[in-house]
Chain A
Amino acid sequence: MTPRQPIRTQRCGREEARSRLRDARAHLQVAERATPTSPPEEIKAAISSAVLAGIAAADAACCQALGERARGQDHLEAASLVEQVAPEGPTAAKAFERLLSLKDEAQYGFTDLGGQRLLASLRQARALTAFAESVLER
């Protein structure tokens, strides 16, 4: 997961962490409106919201624990930052990578993603939001 080049980051702190955690919760709430029986385009929109929830949660945890968040286009850089958050960073980073693997298909793809992927994305987004909450509660 270690990126080949230095990670582009932006400084941030507790206040920004709280703001991004609110974003994560709001995106997750939107994502949770869809179910596996929802129309395919709604499932894709919900997965896209789940991905946004995960990105916001990752930002929140990194701002709080590391004082910076990833700002590059490569979201795997963000995962490598999440991995450095103690104590649950490595587990959260894996969930983040799985979630990010759905991003392009959900946001730009031509094919439907299906209910199982929706459920997986919701599970990962919830785990990342809970991770960010635990980091901010420390």
Chain B
Amino acid sequence: MHVARPYTAVSPGLEGDVLVALSRTTRPLTGRRVAELVTHGSPDGIRKALDRLVDQGIVRRDPAGRALMHTLNREHLAAPAVEALATIRSDLLGRLRATLSAWSPPAVHASLFGSAARGDGDADSDIDIFLVRPSPTDEADARWHEQRERLAADVRTWTGNHAAVVESSEQQLSEMARSNAPILAALRRDGIALGGTPLELLSGVQQ
């Protein structure tokens, strides 16, 4: 799955990009504005995609002065499918949170980080997950190991991407904070909380 454009798994053309951009706002947009929001594809390609979507009735095109304004037709039968495409990324986060909330022993902290968190990767990007293991659970603890392996397998099944799981003990986390480990800076900058105590509230990590 393309981590920045997950909807391309089922809608690989520019139509998917255009529909998702329009789904994020109720504001009527010019074709040029749509092209700016999509950020890739040529303006001509976006215009042709808009033409095709207007033909299908899923996008409305209305004149406003000399401009043509576009909105997602939220009453179209296919509109729920557009909403589903637009929420693939948040659905992944929801599944990760639900899975982690059922863990025993639970993770002290869990975050998504890296390109999947930033939303700027591609289809080959790993899904990077950071876990803090509770004391005194050992890395080799059978239950911990099994749920971690299952999580990685689930991510592969859900997305087709490799899950790169980085984990530390609470003590190792404190050491990482003392040494200003780069991964902590990345987590603070781009991390998306998935469960447990927020990183900034964990003892040893507080700034």
Q: Is the CB of B119 within 8 A of A67?
A: no
A95 → B minimal CB distance (Å): 17
For the complex, what is the distance from the CA of A11 to the CA of B36, rounded to whole Å? 10
Interface size on A, residues (CB 8 A): 20
Q: Is the CB of A84 within 8 A of B93?
A: no
Q: Is the CB of B93 within 8 A of A137?
A: yes
What 0/1 readout, one digit per residue, does chain B (88-99) give for beta carbons within 8 Å of chain A?
011001000000
Which of chain A's residues have a CB closer than 8 A to the CB of B93?
137
Choose, from B23-31, B146-154, B161-169, the stretch at the interface: B23-31
Which of chain B's residues have a CB closer than 8 A to the CB of A136?
119
Q: Is the CB of A85 within 8 A of B24?
A: yes
For residue B157, CB closer than 8 A to chain A, the reply is: no
B81 → A minimal CB distance (Å): 15
For residue A27, CB closer than 8 A to chain B, the reply is: no
Which of chain A's residues have a CB closer than 8 A to the CB of B90?
134, 137-138
Q: Is the CB of A84 within 8 A of B26?
A: yes
Cβ contacts A to B, 22 pairs, < 8 Å = A13-B39, A14-B118, A14-B119, A14-B120, A18-B118, A18-B190, A65-B24, A65-B25, A66-B27, A66-B37, A67-B33, A67-B36, A84-B26, A85-B25, A86-B23, A86-B24, A89-B26, A134-B90, A137-B192, A138-B24, A138-B86, A138-B87
